[in-house]
Structure 1
Amino acid sequence: MPYSARILDNALGAVGNTPLIRLDKIAAQEGLQCNLLGKVEYTSAGGSVKDRIAKRMVEEAEKEGRLIPGQTTIIEPTSGNTDKGYSVIITLPNKMSLEKEAALRALGAEVVRTPTEAAWDSPESHIGVAKRLRDEIPGAVILDQYGNINNPLAHEYTTGPEIIEAVTNTPSTAEQPSSGKVDVLIAGAGTGGTVSGLSRAIKKSHNPDSVIIGVDPKGSILAVPESLNTPDAGSPYIVEGIGYDFVPEVLAREVVDVWLKTSDEESFEAVKKLMRLEGLLVGGSSGSALSGALRWLHSDEGKHVAQKKGANVVVLLPDGIRNYMSKPWFLKMALEAEPSPLANRIATILQKAPSKGPEQERS
């Protein structure tokens, strides 16, 4: 039974079970014949795909006896989208948005900011600071999304099956043909748990021939082969939640068939498409995933899928715009866009002197 059809015991029951939505307007604009589908993760209780791994990591640690209510402090280095009734400390690079910090503090977490430029293995990095706090605070535990197997398992056991179920349960019709399977899946890579878990879920039991595409921002080093990373390695990038300067343990790069590098500019342009054409208020990493998907579909390798009616291409949209409302890239997009024809018409009308109504003329 879908969770919307029953009373939930608490907010954790509203984690996951997110919709798979047709992106038909973008597909039409791009001249695609395939089904372009978005897995919209911001409808989860915490607004992010990271809700899933936080829930699973905590629940599994409870089963193992690592967490003791009232005694354990959970410390987690994160980009701000991860982390029941425990004291929580989040170490967060300065680059990450104020909205993320505010949301975490509103939920009762302590937030410690760290230098964005600090290398991952530096004592000053968000990982280094988290380890220092763990060593000094009695009962503190780092669940470690970078090395915790429950990160990819959350997606192998929930996100992947949800996508498969939605695709296989949707009948093929003359108007909306479907292959009945997930033919291509595109997801950004941060810790890498999402794309790794999704690949295993889809290829193991559903469609071994599915193409799994990993998207990595320019400046990050997660893509394979390494030559993809070399031109921009170490360069700063604005998009949050994906990319790293080290390869996390949970990222199984070998289960990804194709790696693509994306720029901030194309990511934010894709965000605009998702907002304006599909009404989906997503964040920058969702734009990265869509821009990678469109680039692949227009490539020599992907165009046969792009023009195949019924082929199902799924794009993982990790979070919403809530966490980025104050970011310059979003404010420029929302408030500094070129005036639309309707905006120009409104301005022209309001520049005229108001016409007198019948009552004013009689007076």
Structure 2
Amino acid sequence: MWYNNILETIGNTPLVKLNTITKNVPGTILAKIETTNPGNSIKDRMAIKMIEDAEKSGKLKPGGTIIEGTSGNTGMGLAMAAIVKGYKCIFTTTDKQSKEKVDALRAFGAEVIVCPTNVEPEDPRSYYSVSSRLEREVPNSWKPNQYDNLANSQAHYEQTGPEIWEQTEGKITHLVVGVGTGGTISGTGKYLKEKNPNIKIWGIDTYGSVFKKYKETGIFDKDEIYPYITEGIGEDFLPANVNFDVIDLFEKVTDKDAALMTRDIARKEGIFVGNSAGAAIGGLIQLKDQLKPEDIVVVIFHDHGSRYMGKMYNEDWLRERGFLQDEKLTAKSILAKKEATEIVTLDATKSVLEAINTIKSMNISQIPVTQQGMIVGKIAESEILSALLENPGLKSAQISEIMTATFPFVDLNTSIDKISSLINRENSAVLVEDESGKIEIITQYDIINAISG
């Protein structure tokens, strides 16, 4: 047996029992692994449904252009379908999204426009507004509008819900889903509640999003909205696809807990998933006291970990945000093991001869160069020698004439691996600002001393 095209392989994703990460959570916890869809995410389901409905209604015509605001996964589903069906794609996304997602969309031949995250949805620069403007300007174009297009929810009512019901033989008691557009939780939840009204539907939200408070109070609180790191869930408006009547409760999960849990799923279950899966499991663990041993819980694992290699799966990215603390040596711990010494600097107006004398007397090879107290460059023994061989008269010149780019600056949370990679033939050290604001220098010797100390 074979399939006629890649779109026919969407759906029928496996349900896999979690054994380690949820060992302290009562009940049987099952993950719906949506990464096995051809676009590696659950969004393939609704992307093809929105396109097929638009074709039937005449909104999407042959040779047309699909224009959509997407965090990446919906775009992948749309781009894949567009290739098979002969459409062009233009996507707008935010600068919060991982580079891997943007690169993946471009790999499928889509045009991608990156817009700022930290603006209101109505702002003309937002990825919602830019996609709407392009739809008006580009001839023969169609915007799916995944947030308000109810084909999104309908896809999950027709596919995801029935699959879960059959795979659990109707025994499911709880569905746990990260909520972004709301299509997955609303469509799947509606189907399951029609089968058994006692099934609990839990939505996972993030801090900086409006869903939880709106569900509990009916108040849309703009003061709750602020930028957050977690991808794929939470919103600063109310999409039409979020059916609050279907969702029993919302639980908020911090950016840090979501990021670290995402990594733990890979490390403890061998399942390589994205950020929203980490948030969903984090929320489930927070709600564990509401579960009983006989419960059957299904958690949606929305997308694949390969889209987050530069983020949740990158230790330096985690450390920069304070999410990882001293698992490995960092700039902070290297400084703590280093003898307290004053950093030697030279002002850019000093002469090359003074630099030579300082290097000799201090028995050092490179010196940071300052201008009005700020480090603006460096001067090295080898650079002085090269300059003087070419022009011996440079001895009386100012250092600024022969200095080179400054040593790299690193954050206190930067890992030893990253620091080591920055120290090379051009840079014998890195600079770091300590907690009091004082500039410190870390050399290869300091790294060796910290490792062996």
Out of 200, 207, 216, the residue aligned to residue 211 of structure 1 is: 200
1:76 corresponds in structure 2 to 68
Distance 2:256 2:245 in 1: 28
2:442 corresponds in structure 1 to none
The Cα of 1:333 is off from its aligned counterpart by 8.0
Out of 40, 44, 52, the residue aligned to residue 51 of structure 1 is: 44
The Cα of 1:275 is off from its aligned counterpart by 1.0
Distance 1:264 1:8 in 2: 40
2:59 corresponds in structure 1 to 66
1:267 corresponds in structure 2 to 258
The Cα of 1:63 is off from its aligned counterpart by 1.4
Distance 1:161 1:197 in 2: 10
Distance 2:234 2:90 in 1: 22
Out of 187, 198, 209, the residue aligned to residue 188 of structure 2 is: 198
Distance 2:51 2:306 in 1: 24
1:253 corresponds in structure 2 to 244
The Cα of 1:231 is off from its aligned counterpart by 10
1:24 aligns with 2:25: no
Indicate the structure (1 or 2) with the bigger Cα radius of gyration: 2
* Aligned CA distance change for structure 1 residues 136 and 198 (closer, same or farther; 3 Å): same
Structure 1 contact 38–314 (Cα < 8 Å) conserved: yes
Q: Report how many aligned residue pairs link the two structures.
A: 311
1:174 corresponds in structure 2 to none
The Cα of 1:269 is off from its aligned counterpart by 2.4
The Cα of 1:27 is off from its aligned counterpart by 3.0
- Whichever residue aligns with residue 105 of structure 1, its letter is R
2:315 corresponds in structure 1 to 332
- Whichever residue aligns with residue 330 of structure 1, its letter is Y
* Aligned CA distance change for structure 1 residues 322 and 226 (closer, same or farther; 3 Å): farther
The Cα of 1:272 is off from its aligned counterpart by 2.5
Structure 1 contact 160–201 (Cα < 8 Å) conserved: yes
Structure 1 contact 160–198 (Cα < 8 Å) conserved: yes
- Whichever residue aligns with residue 315 of structure 2, its letter is K
2:99 corresponds in structure 1 to 98
- Whichever residue aligns with residue 192 of structure 2, its letter is I
* Superimposed CA distance per residue, residues 106-162 of structure 1 (whole angstroms, 9 cap, x where no aligned partner): 111110111111211111111100111111111111111111110000111111111
Distance 2:105 2:148 in 1: 22
1:133 corresponds in structure 2 to 134
- Whichever residue aligns with residue 210 of structure 1, its letter is I
The Cα of 1:226 is off from its aligned counterpart by 4.5
* Superimposed CA distance per residue, residues 215-259 of structure 1 (whole angstroms, 9 cap, x where no aligned partner): 111001122224998697222211111111100011111210011
Q: Secondary structure of 2:100's match?
A: helix
Distance 1:334 1:116 in 2: 19
Distance 1:255 1:63 in 2: 28
2:165 corresponds in structure 1 to 164
Out of 208, 222, 228, the residue aligned to residue 211 of structure 2 is: 222
Structure 1 contact 221–243 (Cα < 8 Å) conserved: yes
* Aligned CA distance change for structure 1 residues 231 and 247 (closer, same or farther; 3 Å): closer
Out of 5, 8, 13, the residue aligned to residue 3 of structure 2 is: 8
* Aligned CA distance change for structure 1 residues 95 and 65 (closer, same or farther; 3 Å): same
Q: Secondary structure of 1:92's match?
A: strand
- Counting aligned pairs with the same residue, the percent is 41
The Cα of 1:330 is off from its aligned counterpart by 2.1
Structure 2 contact 207–228 (Cα < 8 Å) conserved: yes
1:233 aligns with 2:224: yes
Structure 1 contact 182–207 (Cα < 8 Å) conserved: no
Q: Secondary structure of 1:74's match?
A: strand
Out of 230, 233, 236, the residue aligned to residue 242 of structure 1 is: 233
- Whichever residue aligns with residue 268 of structure 2, its letter is L
Q: Secondary structure of 1:212's match?
A: strand
* Aligned CA distance change for structure 1 residues 246 and 335 (closer, same or farther; 3 Å): closer
Distance 1:41 1:118 in 2: 31
1:37 aligns with 2:30: yes
1:320 aligns with 2:320: no
After the TM superposition, which of the residue ranges 58-67 and 213-222 deviates more from structure 2? 58-67
More relative contact order in 1 or in 2 (CA 8 Å, sep 6+)? 1
Q: Secondary structure of 1:116's match?
A: coil
- Whichever residue aligns with residue 211 of structure 1, its letter is K
* Aligned CA distance change for structure 1 residues 189 and 195 (closer, same or farther; 3 Å): same
- TM-score normalised to structure 1 length: 0.81
Distance 1:297 1:230 in 2: 28
Structure 1 contact 123–129 (Cα < 8 Å) conserved: yes
The Cα of 1:23 is off from its aligned counterpart by 0.3
Distance 1:63 1:271 in 2: 39
- Whichever residue aligns with residue 197 of structure 1, its letter is G
Unaligned runs of 5+ in 1: 1-5, 169-179, 340-363
Q: Superposition RMSD on alpha carbons, in Å? A: 2.0
Q: Secondary structure of 2:21's match?
A: helix
Distance 2:220 2:108 in 1: 37
* Aligned CA distance change for structure 1 residues 49 and 89 (closer, same or farther; 3 Å): same
Q: Secondary structure of 2:201's match?
A: strand
Distance 2:223 2:309 in 1: 27
- TM-score normalised to structure 2 length: 0.66
The Cα of 1:334 is off from its aligned counterpart by 10
The Cα of 1:265 is off from its aligned counterpart by 1.2
- Whichever residue aligns with residue 236 of structure 2, its letter is D
Structure 2 contact 310–317 (Cα < 8 Å) conserved: no
The Cα of 1:22 is off from its aligned counterpart by 0.1
